[in-house]
Amino acid sequence: MINNYIYINIANKYILLQRIKENKMTNSKIAGFIGLISGLVAILSVFLVWVAVKVDVGTWEIFSSDTSGWDVFKNGDADYYMIPMIILIIGIIVLIVSIIELAGIKNSVPAKVMGSLVLLLGIACIALTLFYYWEGVIQPVVNSGLGIDTDEAMKLYPIGSGIIAGVLAGVLMFISGLLGLASKSSD
């Protein structure tokens, strides 16, 4: 290390790297970046498969149907059909908050308040997507009186990629919110 810089010799060529301390990413910037990704994943999850139906006879699949979260909302005929739209709104809010965080605009809203908001929205995103899968998809089949138990219902209606993406987005929002809460006021 010479003069606060690190020189690395790669294939007889020296590459100059600044010290990490001089060019560090703050917690609020990392939180903003993770929040940005989580908002995009939440928005994307609405347009992925939420309800997948598979009927297998022996080794052959005789019927399959996929319904996106947007189709669930648009058709409006399923229980809890508003949940995909709520996830979309959560994703948009987190996206806006993350852009504000990354842009460094903190005069109007402190990072800890934005971190709390993103943390709570992450919990809501996880809870709503899992609630929709359980109460809006699995339980109506189990309670239909057709003699289908929970295991059979979960085989008939496997978890769609939109549900998985919604939960992933919620986990990323939660992490982003925790980082926002952990950021210092000088970040």
Q: How many structural domains does the chain have?
A: 1
Q: Whole-angstrom Cα distance, residue 90 to residue 107?
A: 23
How confident is the model at residue 39, as a pLDDT? Answer: 94
- The better pLDDT of the pair 72, 110 is held by 72
Residue 43 lies in a domain: yes
How many other C-beta atoms can be found within 10 angstroms of the C-beta atom of residue 185? 9
**Strand, coil or helix: what is 14?**
strand
Q: Which sign does the torsion angle of CA 67, 69, 70, 75 carry?
A: positive
Taking 80 as the threshold, does the pLDDT of residue 106 lie above it?
no
Mean local confidence (pLDDT), 34-63? 82
Q: Say what the pTM is.
A: 0.76
| pLDDT classification of 124: cutoffs 50, 70, 90 | very high
CATH number of the domain at 45, please.
Answer: 1.20.140
8-state DSSP, 107:
S
| pLDDT classification of 60: cutoffs 50, 70, 90 | low
Residue 135 lies in a domain: yes
Residue 20 lies in a domain: no
Residue 4 lies in a domain: no
Residue 10 lies in a domain: no
**Strand, coil or helix: what is 147?**
coil
Q: Whole-angstrom Cα distance, residue 86 to residue 21?
A: 40
Residue percentage of the chain with pLDDT more than 70? 73
Q: What are phi and psi of 53, to 5 degrees?
A: -115, 125
The residue behind tokens 């703050």 is 26
Taking 50 as the threshold, does the pLDDT of residue 18 lie above it?
no
* Contacts (Cβ under 8 Å, ≥6 apart) of 127: 170
Q: Whole-angstrom Cα distance, residue 80 to residue 25?
A: 41
Q: Whole-angstrom Cα distance, residue 111 to residue 108?
A: 10
Residue 18 lies in a domain: no
CA–chain centroid gap for 39, Å, is 6
Hey, what are 128's tokens? 């709503």
Q: What are phi and psi of 77, to 5 degrees?
A: -105, 5
- The better pLDDT of the pair 162, 110 is held by 162
How confident is the model at residue 19, as a pLDDT? Answer: 39
Query: Which residue range(s) make up the domain with 152?
Result: 25-182
Residue 17 lies in a domain: no
Residue 118 lies in a domain: yes
